[in-house]
Chain A
Amino acid sequence: MSNDHTTAGRSDSDALDPDERERIARRYRDESPVESTENRGVYRRIRDQILSDKKAIFGATMVLLFVFTAMFAPMIAPYEQDETFGINQEPNSYSEGDYTGNGEIDRVWHVLGTDSFGHDLFTRIVFGARISLLVALTTVAFAFTVGTAIGLIAGYYGGLIDELLMRYVDFQWAFPSIILAAGLIAFLGGLGVTNVVIAIGVAFIDDFARLVRGEVLSIREEEYVLAARAIGTSDRRIMTKEILPNAVAPIIVQMTLMIPLAIIAEAALSFLGLGVKPTTPTWGLLLAEGRQYINQAWWISVFPGLAIMVVVLAFNMFGDSLRDAFDVKQSEVSEK
């Protein structure tokens, strides 16, 4: 048989023994640059992706600026949020009056003008960023938690559980979000940040539930899930340790894309007078107030509108880029 030939050569006396061979091979291998780049992690990939995309840099910068503004609103805003000055002042104008209460006439600059109550518009927008961010984050967090749980359970167990949960999600999906939210506010009774968060959050559950269920349905069929079952892993552990980590990328992308929608929804509810209390500075309320004066004082609604637009755009660009970064197939990174 042909197998004999192998041993024939091996008896050669001057051949290296395996250890020696390995030693020489390693000497060569150490010079090769192969190992160094192998450990490129997912975070570095995302960073590289964002840095290589101008839109993503813009998006990320604006998002950071937005978050920064919200966090340090009292320091950034020139005046107190409830301070009133001359009403309907144009942008880049001055109010004159005794605003500090010390008997002297102050001259106060309004970079973006004032609204119909005499609030400084720039101050209101800066403080409004707070509410918008707060509402957006808590809303998305709420929708994410409930939606992911529904999607995970429906997708993993399938059958009757899936039917029931998804029929509910279908029902919610078929119902216009804003009307659902309005209905919920009415049901919860009264205005306020908490009610707005619950109302929008509930309206967003279906997006997460569908997304996660779809992911789970495909991940569930992966062989590593079967392997986990074969070693006796409990359902809960499979869902949290095997399935969820592999669905995390699309969920994060979905979250970044839902934040602007939440901002818009909050603005819309406030605009309709169903949002937070009318005295709270939010972009939606400012927009709504400005509507009545659009002929005399365009700036009252235009600037909050611009703020909404820029932030929404920024989140979208950031989210899109994040999706691209996650979209790189595992194999493309690992192979060769």
Chain B
Amino acid sequence: MTMLQIENLRTEFETPRGTVTAVNGVDLHIDNGEIVGLVGESGSGKSVLAQSVMRLVEDPGEITADELLFKGEPLLEKSEAEMTTIRGNEISMVFQDPMNSLNPTITVGEQIAETVRLHQDIGESISLPAEMKRKIIGASKASESWRRAIEMLESVQIPHPESRATDYPHEFSGGMRQRAMIAIALSCEPDLLIADEPTTALDVTIQAQILEELHSILEVFDTSILLITHDLAVVAETCDRVNVMYAGEMVERATTRELFSNPQHPYTQALLASTPQVETAVEELEPIPGTVPEPIDIPYACHFAPRCPEAKEECFEVDPAFRRVGSEDHEAACIRRDPVDGEVIENE
């Protein structure tokens, strides 16, 4: 079954300087029990895409889409109240900086317990006075929500969860905070977890642990994961399928194995060529010249054309449609690539 089905999603912001099209007609789908990667540099619109799915885009953002289906239901038609139930209950999110996402004045255990109470009916009052009381004198250690909080901490491999639950966020190390964030995100057993650069602020040794954690989540909780990152290697190690974004547009998608063994879009190729790799001593990296364009009324068709080594005049004029460029579902949006089966996918 398809967990998330996105077709032609656009997210635009009206600004005094023009319309910022942060996400420009993007398709994406995530199946049950899959880890899907979304790779892009800053300014690619990958985070806005995630916020659009959660409908958390800030004013004056406008989201439109031909389809934005979550478990077959259109998210754009939901009321704000229904969305609140979905957020956290069925889709939850993990952010880059765990310290900014945790409340510094409340113990980690209580923060998880609160999420449990709010999103799961476990028969504990969530009225304002009841919550106030908990915040002031601390939650009862015998309550169901507290017990669940400890279970969650345990399931994300935090040692001694009973004692750790009574700690405040600043008493946690960076990696443990990110684990705690994942615990909060998982505490209501979501169907889809969106992880936005979850390891960028962490050291490599900790990053490795968190990525492993994501894998075990998939098995234990049966949660689909959308992993957003700028790091190709993280995607290569973690994801089943990869989507590559550039300046608001999707440029290439394939299974991880196919994408990294046979990259087709010039941007993906250039990105790989500019990434230093730990196992091979390269003589010279090939940087991509220029910078990512600002997504304000980009006048040319293929957004990568001005930086593309293969661009020709047509690239600036003709919108590149997706075409199959390799085995299985390997597709790229580039007119310089001949479609494998002669078929160009129309959707823009």
Task: Enumerate chain A interface residues (CB-CB to B < 8 A).
Answer: 1-3, 5-6, 9-10, 12, 14-16, 18, 21-22, 24-25, 28-29, 31-34, 37, 336
B310 CB contact (under 8 Å) in A3, A9, A32, A336: A9
Asked if B105 is at the interface of the complex by the 8 Å CB criterion, the answer is: no
Q: Does the CB pair B309–A33 fall under 8 Å?
A: no
Q: Taking the complex as formed, is B263 at the interface, i.e. its CB lies under 8 A from any CB of chain A?
A: yes
Q: How far apart are the CA atoms of A1 and B20 in the complex, in Å?
A: 37
The complex places the Cα of A33 from the Cα of B299 at a distance, in Å, of 10
Is B16 within 8 A of A9, CB to CB? Answer: no
Q: How many residues does chain B have at the interface if contact means C-beta atoms less than 8 Å apart?
A: 36
Query: If A18-B289, A22-B306 touch, does A6 touch B272 (CB 8 Å cutoff)?
Result: yes
- Let me know if B336 and A25 touch, CB within 8 A: no
Whether the Cβ atoms of A6 and B270 lie closer than 8 Å is: yes
Q: How far is the CA of A29 from the CA of B303 in the complex (A)?
A: 12
A34 touches B311 (CB 8 A): no
- Interface presence of B18 (CB below 8 A): yes
Could you tell me if B336 and A12 are in contact, using CB atoms closer than 8 angstroms?
Answer: yes
Contact check, A24 vs B272: say whether CB atoms are below 8 A apart.
Answer: no
| CB proximity of B135 to chain A, nearest CB, Å | 31
Q: Are B16 and A37 in contact (CB under 8 A)?
A: yes
Which B residue sits closest to A25, measured CB to CB?
Answer: B306
- CB of B282 within 8 A of CB of A16, answer no
Residue of B nearest to A36 (CB): B17
Known A5-B269, A6-B270: A28·B309 in contact at CB below 8 Å: no
Asked, given contacts A2-B272, A21-B306, whether A336 binds B20 with beta carbons under 8 Å apart, the answer is yes
A-B contact pairs, 15 of them (CB 8 A): A2-B261, A2-B269, A3-B282, A3-B286, A5-B264, A6-B269, A16-B313, A21-B308, A21-B311, A25-B305, A25-B316, A33-B18, A33-B296, A34-B297, A336-B294
Q: State whether the Cβ of B260 lies closer than 8 Å to any Cβ in chain A.
A: yes
**Interface pair B299/A28, CB less than 8 Å apart:** yes
Distance, CA A12 to CA B311, complexed state (A): 10
Question: A2 touching B309 by the CB < 8 A rule?
Answer: no
Q: Residue B221 at the A interface, CB < 8 A?
A: no
A18: B residues at CB distance < 8 A: 289, 309
Contact A14 B312 (CB under 8 A): yes
Give A233 to B305 CA distance when docked, in angstroms: 44
Smallest CB-CB A-B distances: 4 pairs: A25-B306, A6-B273, A6-B269, A28-B299
Using Cβ atoms and an 8 Å threshold, which residues of chain A touch B316?
24-25, 28
Provide the bound-state CA to CA distance between A31 and B266, in Å: 25
State whether B260 touches A16 (Cβ < 8 A).
no
Which of B18, B260, B309, B336 has its CB near the most chain A CB atoms (within 10 A)? B309
Residue in A25, A31, A336 whose beta carbon sits within 8 Å of that of B296 in the complex = A336
Are B299 and A16 in touch, CB under 8 angstroms?
no
Closest residue to A30 on the B side, CB-wise? B299
Nearest CB in chain A: distance from B203 CB, A: 21
CB pair A31 B309 closer than 8 Å: no
Query: B298 within 8 Å of A by Cβ?
Result: yes
B15 within 8 A of A: yes
Say whether A5 contacts B263, CB under 8 Å. yes
Residues in B247-296 with C-beta less than 8 Å from chain A:
260-264, 266, 269-270, 272-273, 280, 282, 286, 289, 294-296
Determine the chain B residues whose CB is within 8 A of the CB of A29 once the complex forms.
299, 306
Q: A18-B289, A32-B296, A336-B296 known; A10 and B309 CB under 8 Å?
A: yes
B260 contact set on A, CB distance < 8 A: 2
Contact call A32/B309, Cβ cutoff below 8 A:
no
